[in-house]
């Protein structure tokens, strides 16, 4: 963006700005909670964009760490069988925790007997009236009969078609934390300032010189990260001399909100995922969270056991008696590891 104001007199002034303002949370949030029938397809759009959920997962370290901690807790208790491998169950849980939906494909043998369940990635999967579709970049979608697919969903009253992840409530805060990191990075790339005002006092400063200065400023490292301004005044300074003044527009100080934003976002992610701090390697700060042992036991009963029950309830009706989904008690696993560590020490 360029703005140039010039008078026709010799003592005219020039004002030149460069660099565009940077929007905060510039993409994605408008996609939340939209449930429509796809205009060019035969399926429903998810209420929360799967691409947005995937982006938030990949860009927010607290959320990613919490989901991986929950995955490891869950999968450590799973007892694999010949129908559902450990890897398939692990991938299904990751999809379930990120997107609020997981899909498993039923593969039958020649005699129509169950051979195995296969993981169907959630991000490109869409639900239609009679079919399940898997979108592809450069080809028509793959189609599956609904009887072929097991859909595990996290119920949310906003949608009767798709599930929604528990952390949908903090998507805005997670996006804000991501934008805070981007802002901080651009600040240092820009030379540790948020733009500046360059004021040149010189009655003999020509238009050719103005053009060269403008090009040099636009080409400098970090140009475009923040909004800066060049002012040329064709008069001498207050002291009667020609001079150049450079004034930073703003600087980050010890009072900036970056740390507070990151700490608040981390706390909100942990609140929605309810992972004990001891399992996340997070320092509790000034807050007193009580006994970590009690927290892990509560986590085992109120979180892991409930997810185990949900998966078993949704999967077992599709499995034969010798392939029923089974889990061990997470508390027993923790106790066993604790005893082993004490024996070694």
Q: 163 CB contacts (<8 Å, ≥6 apart)?
A: 96, 99, 100, 101, 152, 153, 154, 155, 156
Q: Minimal CA–CA distance to 287: which of 264, 307, 269?
A: 264
Query: Which comes out higher in pLDDT, residue 277 or 116?
Result: 116
Output the pLDDT for position 343: 62
pLDDT confidence tier of residue 335, bands split at 50, 70 and 90:
confident
Cα torsion 247, 186, 257, 252: sign: negative
The CA distance from 135 to 123, in Å, is: 9
Q: What is the mean pLDDT of residues 211-223?
A: 64
Q: Please say if the pLDDT value at position 309 is more than 70.
A: yes
Q: Minimal CA–CA distance to 149: which of 254, 61, 239, 43?
A: 43
Query: Which comes out higher in pLDDT, residue 244 or 321?
Result: 321
pLDDT confidence tier of residue 334, bands split at 50, 70 and 90:
confident
Question: Which of 126-130, 281-285, 326-330 has the lowest average pLDDT?
Answer: 281-285
Percent share of the chain, pLDDT over 90: 33
Average pLDDT, the chain: 77
Output the pLDDT for position 237: 58
Query: Which comes out higher in pLDDT, residue 63 or 172?
Result: 63
In the numeric block, the tokens 């008690």 are attached to 329
pLDDT confidence tier of residue 324, bands split at 50, 70 and 90:
very high
Output the pLDDT for position 321: 93
Q: How far, in whole angstroms, is CA 88 from its chain's centroid?
A: 24
Coil, strand or helix at 105: strand
Instruction: Give the β-pairing of 228-233 and 13-18.
Output: antiparallel
The CA distance from 269 to 141, in Å, is: 34
Q: Please say if the pLDDT value at position 116 is more than 80.
A: yes
pLDDT confidence tier of residue 10, bands split at 50, 70 and 90:
very low
Output the pLDDT for position 298: 86
From start to end of 155-285, where are the E strands? Answer: 196-201, 228-233, 243-248
Output the pLDDT for position 26: 46
- Residues recorded for the chain: 345
Q: Please say if the pLDDT value at position 166 is more than 80.
A: yes
């Amino acid at each position: 963006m360029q703005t140039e104001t010039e008078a026709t007199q010799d003592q005219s002034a020039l004002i030149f700005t460069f660099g565009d303002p940077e929007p905060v949370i510039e993409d994605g949030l408008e996609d939340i909670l939209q449930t429509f029938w796809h205009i060019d397809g035969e399926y429903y759009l998810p209420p929360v964009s799967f691409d947005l959920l995937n982006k938030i997962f990949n860009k927010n370290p607290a959320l990613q760490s919490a989901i991986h901690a929950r995955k490891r807790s869950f999968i450590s208790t799973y007892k694999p069988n010949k129908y559902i491998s450990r890897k398939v169950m692990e991938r299904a849980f990751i999809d379930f925790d990120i997107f609020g939906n997981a899909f498993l494909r039923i593969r039958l043998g020649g005699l129509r007997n169950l051979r195995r369940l296969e993981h169907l990635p959630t991000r490109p999967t869409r639900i239609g009236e009679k079919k399940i579709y898997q979108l592809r970049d450069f080809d028509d979608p793959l189609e599956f009969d609904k009887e072929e697919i097991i859909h595990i969903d996290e119920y949310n009253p906003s949608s009767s078609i798709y599930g929604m992840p528990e952390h949908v409530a903090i998507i805005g805060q997670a996006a804000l934390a991501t934008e805070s990191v981007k802002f901080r990075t651009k600040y240092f790339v820009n030379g540790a300032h948020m733009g500046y005002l360059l004021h040149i006092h010189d009655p003999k400063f020509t238009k050719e010189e103005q053009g060269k200065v403008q090009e040099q400023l636009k080409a400098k490292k970090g140009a475009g990260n923040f909004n800066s301004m060049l002012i040329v005044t064709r008069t001498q300074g207050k002291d009667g001399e020609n001079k150049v003044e450079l004034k930073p527009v703003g600087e980050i100080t010890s009072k900036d909100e970056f740390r507070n934003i990151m700490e608040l976002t981390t706390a909100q992610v942990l609140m929605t995922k309810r992972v004990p701090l001891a399992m996340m390697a997070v320092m509790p700060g000034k807050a007193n969270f009580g006994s970590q042992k009690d927290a892990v036991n509560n986590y085992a009963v109120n979180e892991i056991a409930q997810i185990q029950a949900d998966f078993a309830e949704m999967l077992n009706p599709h499995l034969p008696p010798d392939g029923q989904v089974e889990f061990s008690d997470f508390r027993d696993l923790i106790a066993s590891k604790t005893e082993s560590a004490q024996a070694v020490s």
